[in-house]
Amino acid sequence: MNSHPGSRVLVINCGSSSLKYQLLEPDSGSVLASGLVEQIGEASGRALHRQNGEASEFVGEIVDHAQGMRLMTEGFAAANFPLDEAGIAAFAHRFAHGGTTFSHPAIVTDEVEAQLEALEPLAPLHNHVMLRGIRIARAMFPDIPHVAVFDTEYWSHLPAAVSTIPIDADVAREHGIRKYGFHGFSHQFVSAEAAAFLGRPPDEVNLINLHLGSGSSVAAIRGGEPADVSLGMSTNSGVVMGTRTGELDPGVIFALHQLAGLDLDAIEELLFRRSGLKGLCGDNDFRAISERMAAGDEAARLAYDVFVLSLRRYLGAYLVMLPSIDAIVFTGGIGENASTIRADTVAGLERFGIRLDPARNGSSSRESRRISSADSDVEIVVIPTNEELGMARAAWEFV
């Protein structure tokens, strides 16, 4: 039971050069305000705050996340809604990797901060910048509880055969080497929404979810519970992503060291930040890739084909793994908006009772919608994700 006098949660999601936020009422799901601070650390940044149907904008240099956080507070103040008077019960801070230390949300104390810092090597692209955001917010708002919520939490009870990585068992146990999974808030949210859309109790529904964006993952949901997910020990596993390889033969790492002379830091930089779609064609923005494909660009076409093939591999694996399939769910920025990706991912699956309706798939609706044909045995649906609401509710229930 929430004991804090406030009734709202401010969700903070720090990226390497961005800060996204939403102020929500967890009970109703109402979004009172939202904003994005982007291009932090670059010559020209932008901060956009939306509230009460209006928007305010700052354009100029944003030197670091501390300035970004101040611009967030100024956005609220400009809307005559200062944060210290906003009835905030908690700040919910997204944290990518909880390791074996955190399988539930945690109120951030100095001790918890130290534990979070120790987890930075598990998600080098995410954890350190998310911890930076927590430290800045705690210093600015010391009297409001700050709750770390973890992308890995949803997957903490995967079957042992799924979560186990087949290396020496003693080494794995000692160092916490296992599948953790990510995008948990998205998969949890869209699974519940998909069951409601189908008019079925969640525990009666088997789903394959495709969360597609700059980071992507495919998940198998059995009877409303997570059965498997493509992301594993780190955020660089599973399907091809914007700047990350996804699944990779470990021999490539040895070859990069022995043949190319790269050290571990250089290999990490290559595999996490200069691979995936960007590594293959120089772009990780799907809109730019689509435009280049339309102009006949072969590198963009290859990047697209590699991405789609990686999705189809996991889709096929989960079709075999699950006892039956009620729906295939597309979500995330690409999954919700890129009709070509959806069509190519399920192409040729009619023999499995999976049939897409091209007209429905071509709709530009932003709502939850069915895109399978009337005679499809398996529903194909698009469900907009709302990770922020999931994070807000997790923090709200914990404080």
Q: Which residues are catalytic?
A: 151
CA angle 269, 95, 119 (to 5 degrees): 60
- Dmax over CA atoms of the chain, in Å, equals 60
Q: Classify residue 272 as exposed, middle or buried by CB count within 10 Å of its CB (0-12, 13-18, 19+).
A: buried
User: Does 386 carry a binding-site annotation?
Assistant: no
The DSSP H or E segment spanning 49 is strand 45-51
User: Does 393 carry a binding-site annotation?
Assistant: no
User: Does 54 carry a binding-site annotation?
Assistant: no
CA-CA-CA-CA torsion for 252, 257, 259, 261, nearest 10 degrees?
150
User: Does 186 carry a binding-site annotation?
Assistant: no
Smallest CA-to-CA distance from 185 within 231, 154, 163, 215 is with 154
Please list, in sequence order, all residues whose beta carbon lies within 8 angstroms of the beta carbon of residue 335, skipping any fewer than 6 positions away: 210, 211, 212, 213, 341, 342, 382
**Tokens read off for 176:** 């916490």
C-alpha distances in angstroms, 351 versus 6, 207, 219, 371?
Answer: 54, 18, 22, 18
Looking at the DSSP bridge assignments, the partners of residue 330 are 210, 382
**Tokens read off for 32:** 């009172």
Return the number of other C-beta atoms located less than 10 Å from residue 347's C-beta: 12
Report the C-alpha gap between 34 and 288 in whole angstroms: 26
User: Does 35 carry a binding-site annotation?
Assistant: no
User: Does 387 carry a binding-site annotation?
Assistant: yes
b/e code 117-134 from CB counts within 10 Å (16+ = b):
eebeebbbbbbbbbbebb
User: Does 173 carry a binding-site annotation?
Assistant: no
User: Does 209 carry a binding-site annotation?
Assistant: no
> Strand pairing of 8-15 and 18-25?
antiparallel
Query: DSSP class of residue 299?
Result: H
User: Does 213 carry a binding-site annotation?
Assistant: yes
User: Does 193 carry a binding-site annotation?
Assistant: no
Please name the residue that has the structure tokens 């435009």. Answer: 291
User: Does 211 carry a binding-site annotation?
Assistant: yes
Report the C-alpha gap between 176 and 167 in whole angstroms: 12
User: Does 2 carry a binding-site annotation?
Assistant: no
User: Does 191 carry a binding-site annotation?
Assistant: no
Please list, in sequence order, all residues whose beta carbon lies within 8 angstroms of the beta carbon of residue 85, skipping any fewer than 6 positions away: none
User: Does 99 carry a binding-site annotation?
Assistant: no
User: Does 52 carry a binding-site annotation?
Assistant: no
Q: Is the dihedral of CA 318, 319, 324, 327 positive or negative?
A: positive
**Tokens read off for 161:** 């055969």
Binding residues for substrate: 94
Binding residues for Mg(2+): 13, 387
Binding residues for ATP: 20, 211-215, 285-287, 333-337
Binding residues: 13, 20, 94, 211-215, 285-287, 333-337, 387
